[in-house]
Chain A
Amino acid sequence: MILHPSVLALVGSALLGGGLLVYSSWWAARVLLRWDLSSGSELQVALERRTYLVSTILAYVLLFELASLFLFVFTADSMAPLFTGAMCAAGSLRASPYGYPALMLQTAGFAMASLWLVVNRADSLGYDYPLIRYKYGFLLVLTPVLLLEMGLRVAFFLDLKPDVITSCCGSLFGARGRGLGSDLAGIPPKVAAVAFVALLAGVILAGLHFWATGRGGWAVGVLALVLLPTGLGAVVAWLSPYVYELPTHHCPFCLLQREYDWVGYPFYGALLGGSLSGVGVGVLMPFRSIPSLAGPLPAYQRRLAAFSVWLLVALGVLVAVILARSQLRL
């Protein structure tokens, strides 16, 4: 294990967060089995009180989980000079077999944790805990994913040894290589660009329509759900060469480095935040008919849609600036 402040923070948070998730899931299981709002039994009153504590714990654990995705990638990137052959986070993650699975699960955990927080917030808008079973049922699915991700994260850091020879991002994300990175790099840039821009515009327009009329929430959710993987793919296939001004360099991690003005952080932040808040609009659509949510939920969905639109417009502006500043023309 490499003793680095970020590594210690990520390992410590994994252990602490994992413990709190297990504790919360225990209460979630009790809520699912024993919740009965019509009863004034001692257990029911205790569950009602405990749900505040559990929701508060989870909100903090999951917010840190969101931040830890960026910290994880930042840490992997900053450790690259320790490994022979590594130029950025791509190489560091390759230095252990746990690296990429941890990143994949962390990204999935980020998406699921975001949606849990959206559902949790919606639940708090109703006076009768309208979504409590949904959110705690969802938590019991989310917890194993996050525990596995935290386990892989710890295993990755424990497994790292400075004398390992690893691959550079050029070979991992080269159009002629093998694997997911190379497959993405092999997608024709124009196809990736058209798909990304069309979906970006689609989510923005659908979001604006929903914000203005309160209709079309499903469309916002579905388009935003497709935008997220499309955007991540488009970075590799189309956008990253413009940042590096090198047609053969498709690495999605070098964007996070100082040489490129850390442009990856606002890009990924806006893409993840914008698309997941759009997905949140769709996720909440089935609950609009619940009487206690009929008033506040549409207003909350509109705020989510507005948040999504703002972030995606910012993302569009950022992409336009990248393209305008680049000397490369594909």
Chain B
Amino acid sequence: MIRLEDVRKVFHQGRPDELVAVDGVSLDISDKQVTVLRGPSGSGKTSVLALVGCMARPTSGRIHVGDREVTSLPEHFLTEVRRRTFGFVFQEFHLVRGLTALENVMLPAYPLGGSRKQLLSRAQALLERFGVGGRARERADWLSGGESQRVAIARALVNDPMVVVADEPTAHLDSKLSASFMGVVDALRSEGRTVLIASHDPIVHESEVVDRVVTLRDGRIVDEAL
């Protein structure tokens, strides 16, 4: 269970360009379910994802991941939680250009140490699973949009996280590839992972795979549908 308690996130606080991105959000995200955050641009979806994924700290409020309160954790403890609990799929995928697909997948596992041989076989297996095993030695620059996304998903899973966080994962995909992505999400849920997606794509939030849709507007929750 991930629990947000009255979370606010304000950028440029106290300045003329102050922006309240998240405004008093309280939310319980159940384990082993697919939750989608829906809303227009600027509604606070990405900020909520960043806060839940321990990539940003709130201006006020608390976030609990499992039985641990994470917003007050010192940075090195927070980094550990982020590495071991979350896998991220970014909107632009953020694959490192110049590295191969395989190297991109292996990258998040380096700080955890462990055997390189095992890591190589794990990363290769993930690429095979998502149908891009044959592209493992290709540089990320040469991958298509769909391939890049599948490599990004493989990278998100390399540390075997309990929670997968995806920010607008279908923004650069056609309908067929978007539907294929939801198939991957279904598989992740079947494995017992919690999936949290921010998207305003109907293919995502109208999918049967999704357990719950939370609608945000102006940084606040305006609707929760199961």
Neighbouring A residues of B60 by C-beta, 8 Å: 40-42, 44-45
B173 sits at the interface (CB 8 A) = no
- Flag if B77 contacts A40 (CB, 8 Å): no
B-side interface mostly:
mixed
- Flag if A45 contacts B74 (CB, 8 Å): no
- Flag if B71 contacts A40 (CB, 8 Å): yes
> In the complex, what distance in Å separates the CA atom of A40 from the CA atom of B25?
13
Would you give the 0/1 interface string for A276-309, flagging 1 where the beta carbon is closer than 8 Å to chain B?
Answer: 0000000000000000000000000000000000
Task: Give the number of chain A interface residues (Cβ < 8 Å).
Answer: 13
A134 sits at the interface (CB 8 A) = no
When A40-B60, A40-B62 are in contact, do A45 and B75 touch as well, CB less than 8 Å?
no
> In the complex, what distance in Å separates the CA atom of A124 from the CA atom of B62?
21
- Flag if A40 contacts B73 (CB, 8 Å): no
A52 sits at the interface (CB 8 A) = yes
Neighbouring B residues of A41 by C-beta, 8 Å: 60
- Flag if A128 contacts B57 (CB, 8 Å): no
Which residue in B6, B74, B75, B76 is a CB contact (below 8 Å) of A40?
B6
B133 sits at the interface (CB 8 A) = no
> In the complex, what distance in Å separates the CA atom of A306 from the CA atom of B58?
41
Neighbouring B residues of A37 by C-beta, 8 Å: 72
Neighbouring A residues of B62 by C-beta, 8 Å: 40
Neighbouring B residues of A329 by C-beta, 8 Å: none
List which B75-102 residues lie within 8 A (CB) of chain A: 75-77
A265 sits at the interface (CB 8 A) = no
Which residue in A42, A48, A52, A124 is a CB contact (below 8 Å) of B72?
A48
Select from chain A the residue with minimum beta-carbon distance to B68.
Answer: A127
Would you give the 0/1 interface string for B1-28, flagging 1 where the beta carbon is closer than 8 Å to chain A?
Answer: 0000111100000000000000000000
**Residues of B participating in the A interface, judged by any CB pair closer than 8 Å:** 5-8, 57-62, 71-77
Given A45-B61, A124-B74, A129-B72: 10 more A-B contacts, CB < 8 Å: A40-B7, A41-B60, A42-B8, A42-B60, A44-B60, A45-B57, A45-B60, A45-B71, A48-B72, A49-B57
**Residues of A participating in the B interface, judged by any CB pair closer than 8 Å:** 37, 40-42, 44-45, 48-49, 52, 124, 127-129
